[in-house]
Amino acid sequence: MDQPPKSPDPQPADAGGSIPHCYRHPDRETGIRCTRCEKPICTDCMVDASVGFQCPDCVRSGSGTGHAPTANQPRNIAGTAVRGGDPRLVTKILVGLNLAVFALVLVPGTGDRIVTDFFLLGAWPAPPDFVFQGVAAGEWYRLVTSMFLHKEIWHIAFNMLGLWWLGGPLEAALGRARFIALYLLSGLAGSALTYAVAAPDQPSLGASGAIFGLLGATAVLMKRMNYDMRPVIALLVINLIFTFGGSNIAWQAHIGGLVAGVLLALGLVAAPPQRRSLVQYGAFGLVFVLVLVTVLVRTATLTV
């Protein structure tokens, strides 16, 4: 999420090909490996085993569980059942939604009104004047709507490329419901920190908070799968340099989204199997409560 007008705000790019492809479906990226032969497998090929996942070849050969491939329903790294269909469905919907809103913003006259009515604005006019517009005036929807707003072509291009590159593998690894929750809560955390720290009358917009959340979650998953962390660390460092070195960039949104993405991903992939649901729901609940408290406290300071 950036402050208009802005200078280019580079978003996370593909981590240098560090994510392998399924040995049976070379066009599919995956973060999962067979626990027996260590071949990369996609969510359609992996078979749930007593420890981790196995490929169909190991299951058929009897080197793994000894069960037929249909004996256990495949599960992703977050422990949820793998569903059929397009593994990038939610990612495509999010990209399409952002592009649709951007198309409306380009409409002469109407576009400017959409931006003004839905970008993130803490309070206007700024205290001590009476506040009648912004989140502090009760327009909480701006915390969410601002995540889907972009004014410049380079802005939405960087954000949508980041969403496409990072979203597909994460959606396949976490499942659709958890992925969309990760995306929205990361973006909401970025909005909340921007609201809490930035000048109350400074408008901001963009999906950067959510994208940084996906970047943080990708780092956690790569660590969990014992992949080489150097590419994603380099990518993160580069983006943080631009975040704090550029002008008119809402660094609060980037940091808020990044921290939320890391916390949520830790809850999703590090939970013990016997308490997986409790830990995962608890992680989402904790981040939501932190966001809510942040917004309430900031609102109180702007309206007293």
Contact status, residue 29 vs residue 169, Cβ threshold 8 Å? yes
Tell me, what's the pLDDT at 298?
Answer: 96
Set 191, 208, 247, 277: catalytic member: 208
User: pTM here?
Assistant: 0.76
* 2: phi then psi, degrees, rounded to nearest 5: -130, 165
Tens of pLDDT along the chain (304 residues) come to 555 544 334 333 333 445 788 898 888 888 788 878 888 898 888 887 655 678 888 877 764 444 444 445 667 777 776 677 788 899 999 999 999 999 999 999 899 999 999 999 999 887 877 788 999 999 999 999 999 999 999 999 999 999 999 999 899 889 899 999 999 999 999 999 999 999 999 999 999 999 999 999 999 998 888 888 888 888 889 888 888 877 778 899 999 999 999 999 999 988 887 888 899 999 999 999 999 999 999 999 988 7
Set 7, 25, 254, 277: catalytic member: 254
- Please list, residue by residue across 265-291, b when 16 or more beta carbons sit within 10 angstroms of its beta carbon and e when fewer do: bbbbbebeeeebeeebeebbeebeebb
Residues 6+ apart with CB under 8 A from 236: 12, 215, 219, 258
Tell me, what's the pLDDT at 1?
Answer: 58
What residue has token string 């790294």? 77
Cα(124)–Cα(265) distance, integer angstroms: 36
What residue has token string 């109350």? 200
What residue has token string 């990760």? 182
Task: Take residue 36 and report the two structure tokens written for it.
Answer: 């027996």
173 CB-contact burial (10 Å; exposed 0-12 / middle 13-18 / buried 19+): buried
Which domains, ranges and CATH numbers included, belong to the chain?
A: 18-75 (no CATH), 89-303 (1.20.1540.10)
What residue has token string 């990612």? 91
Helix (H, G, I), strand (E, B) or coil at 77: coil
Tell me, what's the pLDDT at 212?
Answer: 96
Cα(122)–Cα(110) distance, integer angstroms: 22
Q: Which residues pair with 204 in a beta bridge?
A: 120
What one-letter code names the amino acid at 44? D
From the list 151, 177, 142, the residue with the least C-alpha distance to 281 is: 177
Residue 21 is among the residues annotated as catalytic for this protein: no
Cα(191)–Cα(276) distance, integer angstroms: 28
Tell me, what's the pLDDT at 227?
Answer: 83
Residue 254 is among the residues annotated as catalytic for this protein: yes
Helix (H, G, I), strand (E, B) or coil at 37: coil
